[in-house]
Structure 1
Amino acid sequence: MKLNEAMELLKEKGFKNTPKRYEMLEYIFKQNKYVTARDIQQALTEKYKGLSFDTIYRNLTTFLDVEVIEMTELDGEKRFRSKCSSTEHHHHHFICLDCGNTKSIKACPMENIPEDLQGYKVQNHKFEIYGLCPNCINEDSKI
């Protein structure tokens, strides 16, 4: 999904396209990683003095409800990233614990689980792998 598609979807769902909302989404969409509400606040604080966490979380909730972003929890903190295109294949993520960058994983572990869940109806699932990306491994080895 692209930023302009996300903004159009918000508009279709009855939400106003405000400059602040646009810039929050723009920041999220430019990152190749999950970001925190604090990251968003720090990125926009110079332009929007007094930007509160309430405002950020209210917008993040809207973005989640409209499904233009996705959320994960890492170290007890909610983190957000742009939602991948619905036409893109089903996938999961590797998340670097140092820099937060993500990499898509094409394989899905659910392919191996059906025999363990006979009689159950799976409606959704989430699978993430955490570790260090090659850049962070190389940085660690330089220390």
Structure 2
Amino acid sequence: MNVVEAKELLKTEGYKHTDKRTDILQLFSDESRYLAAKDVLEALQNKYNGLSFDTIYRNLSLFTELGILETTDLDGEKKFRFSCSTDYHHHHLICLDCGKTKHIHQCPMDTSIISDEGFQIIDHKFEVYGYCEQCGEQKNV
């Protein structure tokens, strides 16, 4: 997903264009990591005096509902990032320090024995948390 695609989707779905929405989308476009609502607020509060968490959460929820953003829970907090623009099934490695993500191209469910148990899988999510190369070096991991 990118800003142009996201704005077009909002328009197609009947949502109006606002500068705040564009700036939120641009913030996610500029970052390659998951962001919390507080990160969005901190980045935009100087530009929009009186910007509230309610406004941020409403837009983040809308963007998630429309598939513009995807979410994960890190440290007990919901975080967001642009949905992947890949059209193939994959999962993510997520750095606990900087929040950067990297694709895992092999699905661990491909070797799962769950299908042998008579359980019909509808969906799944697989994320691996740790430290990217740069953050791992800083922590001497």
Same fold, judged at TM 0.5 (above): yes
Query: Share of identical aligned residues, percent?
Result: 50
Taking only aligned residues, the RMSD between alpha carbons, in angstroms, comes to 1.2
Aligned match of 2:34: 34
Q: What amino acid is the match of 1:136?
A: C
Shift of 1:140: 2.0
Residue 57 of structure 2 aligns to a residue in which SS? helix
**Where does the alignment leave 5 or more consecutive residues of structure 1 unmatched?**
none
**Where does the alignment leave 5 or more consecutive residues of structure 2 unmatched?**
none
Residue 35 of structure 2 aligns to a residue in which SS? coil
State the distance in 1 between where 2:106 and 2:84 align.
16
| TM-score (normalised: structure 2) | 0.93
Shift of 1:137: 1.5
Q: What amino acid is the match of 2:124?
A: H
Aligned match of 1:137: 136
Indicate yes or no: 2:88 matched with 1:89.
yes
Shift of 1:119: 2.3
State the distance in 1 between where 2:90 and 2:21 align.
27
State the distance in 1 between where 2:79 and 2:94 align.
11
Aligned match of 1:17: 17
- Greater shift, 90-99 or 118-127, is seen at 118-127
Q: What amino acid is the match of 1:138?
A: E
State the distance in 2 between where 1:70 and 1:15 align.
19
Shift of 1:62: 0.4
State the distance in 2 between where 1:48 and 1:17 align.
16
Aligned match of 1:5: 5
Regions of 4+ moved over 6 Å: none
- The superposition leaves residues 100-125 of structure 1 with CA deviations (integer Å, 9 ceiling, x where unpaired) of 11111111111012x32332221211
| TM-score (normalised: structure 1) | 0.92
- The superposition leaves residues 39-96 of structure 1 with CA deviations (integer Å, 9 ceiling, x where unpaired) of 00000011011111111010011001110110000111000000112x5321111111
Number of matched pairs: 139
Aligned match of 1:108: 107
State the distance in 1 between where 2:5 and 2:41 align.
23
Residue 126 of structure 1 aligns to a residue in which SS? coil
